[in-house]
Structures are given as structure tokens and as C-alpha cells.
């Protein structure tokens, strides 16, 4: 695996940079930067300042304008900051130009997400998938990534590269890519066989934006101990448990979380991990309803499910973290009736939009878990009846 562990020194201070596109508000971009700050924190850096710029189109050479670059350069020189993080994917040339202009390490959103995935990968499959995505990301950026590769200890000298060296590196990277693809194909074959062995059980998969509480719910429903924490992408590998509710068995899987602007190569290389989602009979779409951007996040998840061709399945939408939602929404002076009304409005709206397939819970407070169980059980039984009309052992 590429050693990207030192993308940041511990608790390294960084500044964040975001573009405000013509159809975006400053407010929206700030919420996106909140997420970027959370990503940076997960990767080990502390964001201490944000810069935004309104532009119709990103600058092809430097992504943002000259004046803004100058402003950033002065700020980071003054504060002795050595890393800047962009909320978008940059080309190799852009990275190069920006690093020259501001004399600081320049990291883009994809770089950051890949770095987090690289740290989190535990199994051979996840490691190979991340590594593949990293090399594919690097390939078209070899010139701009020169400094990055140096940092990665990619076997490259300290002076700037000539054309031939870059050609050689390209060849090496391409060879790595094809090796990794072979390795992954091998692992795929094994896991496909394993999945086929699971027989006739209905398969249910937890999907959703990262950090919404999928693993926490998995633990509550399966009484297992899946790793869950308040960081992005705590889960990279799929875990599957056999669960029995009221004598009805089914399989429940916890999967990797989604995020907006997930690097394209990462989605590609995680396709096989996401097979669990594609092959599932029922999806549990988990939402962190306490998040200010939860509706955006639902959109990202729905879009990703469509890309995966996994959208045409029964879906139960689970609105999680209701405890936090109440904490954030209710002012102390609100009377109980008003609180009730607010909750009713929220529930009514989403029941309507999901055709009655919504559940509102708090996984950590164990609120409404019984209702969630009932909802899942109802759908699971419905499918067993359709699929195996003559087999009654599943429902009694």
C-alpha cells in the first residue's frame, strides 16, 4: 500500500479553500467546508481558516484567481502554515501551479478522502481497492504529483523529473494498476462464491451517508460489536450478520458510507464491496436527521444508489439521531405542544415522501427500535412470501 500516512504531521494546521459556484450560496459552501474540515480532522489536520471565492468557472491554471492566491500566500506565510486543502479535485498542473504560487503543500478533496480510506483499510480487499484508486488518481497527475510521490517515498529522487523519468514512472504505475486489478478479480471470485453459499435468505443492507450511524444500528439490531465512531468512514469493509426476528431469519450487512464528490476511481474500485448493496433485496437508507444538510446527503445517497443500479428495491428510510435533532431544534422556551407539532410535521412530511416507509429512531438512545424491527420484519416477510410462496418455515 502506498504509505500516505504522513500526508499531515500530527495535528498539522491547514487552511481550507472553496469555490462558490453561480448556483450556490455562501451558506451552502460554508456547510461543505464544515464537512471538509471534518475530513481534514479525520486525516489528522486542524483547519484554522477558510477562504472562499465566487467564480463562474474555476481557473484552468490555478483553480482560483491570482488575487485570492496572493491573499492566501500572505496569510499562511504569516501564520507559518504549510498545507492548503481544496474542496474540489484539482488537475496535476493546477496542483503544481498553486504550490509554486503559494509555496505550500496543496491537497485536494480526493487526495484527502483517499488518504483516509488508506488509513482505514484493514482487509486485503479494502487495501487493494484503495491502492488501485490511489494509483489511478496519480496516473494523470504524475508531473504535478511529483512532490506527493516524494512524500510517499515512491522511489523517486529529490530533483525535478525529466520526461523520460515521468514516462518510466507512468509505466510503473500502469503495471501496479494491472497487478492490483488481477488481485482484486481473484478476491472477487472468492467472495462471490461465499455470497452464493448464503442460500435463500433475504438480504438487507444498511446504506447511507458517512457517519449517520449505520454501524451503531447494525450493533443494536445484531447485538454485534462493529466498530463505530464519530469520524468519517469508520467502516470500509462490509460485515454481514444473520439475524432472526420472531423466528424469521435474514441477513443484515453494514456497508461503506457515501459522501458528496466521492472520487470517481474510489467508487469504481469499491464496486465489489458495494456488490452487497447491489445484490441486496431490501435497503435500509439511514439518514442523520440532526445534520443541517441531511436532505442534501439523502440526495447524494440516492444518486449513488442510482449509479450502482441499486435503486429499484424496497427501501426503508431510517431517520436516525432524533435525540440530537430535538436537542438542536428545540429551544428551551418552547412548550411541549409546539415541540410535538414540530415532530409531527417532520414525520408526516417524510412518511408522505417515502410512501409510509420511514422510521424515526435514536440508535444510541435506543428510541423506537421496536418499531424499526417491525418495519424490517414486515418487508422481509413480504419478500419471503413472494419468493417462496410454498415455504412456510420462514414465517413461523
Ligand X SMILES: Nc1nc2c(ncn2[C@@H]2O[C@H](COP(=O)(O)OP(=O)(O)OP(=O)(O)O)[C@@H](O)[C@H]2O)c(=O)[nH]1
The span from the CA of 325 to the CA of 389, in Å, is 42
Of 375, 376, 370, 395, residue with least CA distance to 384: 395
- The answer to whether 232 contacts ligand X (rule: CB under 6 A) is yes
Q: Is 8 in contact with 138 (CB distance < 8 Å)?
A: no
Give, as one character, the DSSP assignment of residue 160.
P
Identify residues 246-285 at the interface with ligand X (CB under 6 A).
257
Q: Select the binding partner of residue 321 from ligand X, Mg ion, none (C-beta < 5 to 8 A, by kind).
A: ligand X
Residues 344, 347, 350, 351, CA torsion sign: negative
Give the bridge partners for 204, in sequence order: 252, 282
Q: Which stretch binds ligand X (CB under 6 A): 111-119, 209-217, 302-310, 331-339?
A: 209-217
Beta carbons within 10 angstroms of residue 240's beta carbon: 20
Q: Which stretch binds ligand X (CB under 6 A): 106-114, 142-150, 345-353, 362-370?
A: 362-370
Q: Which stretch binds ligand X (CB under 6 A): 11-19, 29-37, 122-130, 357-365?
A: 357-365
- For ligand X, which residue of 105, 119, 321, 379 counts as binding (CB under 6 A)? 321
- The answer to whether 216 contacts ligand X (rule: CB under 6 A) is yes
Q: Select the binding partner of residue 233 from Mg ion, ligand X, none (C-beta < 5 to 8 A, by kind).
A: ligand X
The span from the CA of 166 to the CA of 127, in Å, is 26
- For ligand X, which residue of 129, 235, 269, 317 counts as binding (CB under 6 A)? 235
Q: What are phi and psi of 230, to 5 degrees?
A: -85, 60
- The answer to whether 323 contacts ligand X (rule: CB under 6 A) is yes
Q: Which residues have C-beta within 8 Å of that of residue 226, sequence separation ≥ 6?
A: 215, 218, 219, 235, 239, 254
Q: Which stretch binds ligand X (CB under 6 A): 16-24, 82-90, 207-215, 262-270?
A: 207-215
The span from the CA of 51 to the CA of 29, in Å, is 11
Burial of 301 (0-12, 13-18, 19+ CB in 10 A): buried
Least distance in angstroms from the C-beta of 339 to ligand X = 18
Nearer to Mg ion, 227 or 388 (CB): 227
The span from the CA of 275 to the CA of 323, in Å, is 33
Least distance in angstroms from the C-beta of 284 to Mg ion = 13
> Between 324 and 353, how does the x/- string for binding to ligand X read (CB under 6 A)?
x-----------------------------
Least distance in angstroms from the C-beta of 358 to ligand X = 15
Least distance in angstroms from the C-beta of 261 to ligand X = 16
Beta carbons within 10 angstroms of residue 178's beta carbon: 11
All three cell numbers of 121: 483499510
- For ligand X, which residue of 97, 136, 215, 297 counts as binding (CB under 6 A)? 215
Interacting residues toward Mg ion by CB under 5 A: 214-215, 234-235
Least distance in angstroms from the C-beta of 259 to Mg ion = 12
Q: Select the binding partner of residue 240 from Mg ion, ligand X, none (C-beta < 5 to 8 A, by kind).
A: none
The span from the CA of 278 to the CA of 292, in Å, is 29
- For ligand X, which residue of 53, 317, 362, 368 counts as binding (CB under 6 A)? 362
Q: Is 280 in contact with 204 (CB distance < 8 Å)?
A: yes
Of 270, 235, 258, 257, residue with least CA distance to 128: 270
Least distance in angstroms from the C-beta of 230 to ligand X = 3
- The answer to whether 127 contacts ligand X (rule: CB under 6 A) is no
- For ligand X, which residue of 4, 13, 127, 214 counts as binding (CB under 6 A)? 214
Q: Distance of alpha carbon 193 from its chain centroid, rounded?
A: 27
The span from the CA of 212 to the CA of 291, in Å, is 9
Least distance in angstroms from the C-beta of 55 to ligand X = 32
Q: Which stretch binds ligand X (CB under 6 A): 229-237, 238-246, 301-309, 375-383?
A: 229-237
The span from the CA of 205 to the CA of 258, in Å, is 14
Q: Using CB atoms, what's the residue nearest to ligand X?
A: 257
- The answer to whether 42 contacts ligand X (rule: CB under 6 A) is no
Residues in contact with ligand X by the rule CB under 6 A:
208, 210-216, 228-230, 232-235, 257, 320-321, 323-324, 362-364
Amino acid at each position: 500500500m502506498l504509505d500516505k500516512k504522513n500526508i499531515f504531521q500530527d495535528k498539522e494546521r491547514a487552511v481550507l479553500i472553496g469555490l462558490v459556484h453561480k448556483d450556490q450560496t455562501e451558506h451552502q459552501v460554508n456547510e461543505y467546508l464544515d464537512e471538509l474540515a471534518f475530513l481534514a480532522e479525520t486525516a489528522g489536520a486542524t483547519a484554522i481558516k477558510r477562504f472562499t471565492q465566487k467564480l463562474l468557472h474555476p481557473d484552468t491554471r490555478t483553480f482560483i484567481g491570482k488575487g485570492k492566491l496572493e491573499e492566501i500566500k500572505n496569510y499562511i506565510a504569516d501564520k507559518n502554515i504549510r498545507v492548503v486543502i481544496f474542496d474540489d479535485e484539482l488537475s496535476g498542473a493546477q496542483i503544481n501551479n498553486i504550490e509554486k504560487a503559494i509555496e505550500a503543500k496543496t491537497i485536494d478533496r480526493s487526495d484527502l478522502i483517499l488518504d483516509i480510506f488508506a488509513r482505514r483499510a484493514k482487509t486485503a480487499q479494502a487495501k487493494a481497492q484503495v491502492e488501485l484508486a490511489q494509483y489511478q488518481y496519480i496516473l494523470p497527475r504524475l508531473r504535478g504529483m511529483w512532490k506527493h510521490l516524494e512524500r510517499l517515498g515512491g522511489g523517486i529522487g529529490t530533483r525535478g523529473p525529466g520526461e523520460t523519468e515521468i514516462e518510466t514512472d507512468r509505466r510503473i504505475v500502469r503495471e501496479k494498476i494491472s497487478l492490483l486489478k488481477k488481485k482484486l478479480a481473484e478476491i472477487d471470485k472468492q467472495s462471490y462464491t461465499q455470497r452464493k453459499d448464503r442460500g435463500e435468505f433475504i438480504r438487507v443492507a444498511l446504506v447511507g451517508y458517512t457517519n449517520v450511524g449505520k454501524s451503531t444500528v447494525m450493533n443494536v439490531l445484531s447485538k454485534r460489536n462493529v466498530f463505530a465512531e464519530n469520524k468519517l468512514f469508520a467502516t470500509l469493509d462490509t460485515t454481514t450478520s444473520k439475524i432472526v426476528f420472531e423466528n424469521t431469519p435474514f441477513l443484515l450487512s453494514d456497508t461503506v458510507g457515501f459522501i458528496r464528490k466521492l472520487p470517481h476511481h474510489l467508487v469504481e474500485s469499491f464496486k465489489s464491496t458495494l456488490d452487497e448493496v447491489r445484490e441486496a433485496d431490501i435497503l435500509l437508507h439511514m439518514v442523520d436527521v440532526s445534520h443541517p444538510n441531511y436532505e442534501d446527503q439523502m440526495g447524494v445517497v440516492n444518486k449513488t444508489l442510482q449509479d450502482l443500479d441499486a435503486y429499484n428495491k424496497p427501501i426503508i428510510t431510517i431517520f436516525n439521531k432524533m435525540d440530537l435533532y430535538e436537542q438542536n431544534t428545540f429551544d428551551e422556551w418552547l412548550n411541549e405542544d409546539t415541540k410535538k407539532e414540530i415532530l409531527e410535521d417532520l414525520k408526516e412530511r417524510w412518511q408522505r415522501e417515502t410512501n409510509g416507509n420511514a422510521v424515526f429512531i435514536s440508535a444510541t438512545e435506543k428510541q423506537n427500535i421496536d418499531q424499526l424491527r417491525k418495519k424490517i420484519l414486515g418487508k422481509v416477510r413480504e419478500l419471503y412470501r413472494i419468493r417462496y410462496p410454498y415455504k412456510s418455515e420462514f414465517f413461523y
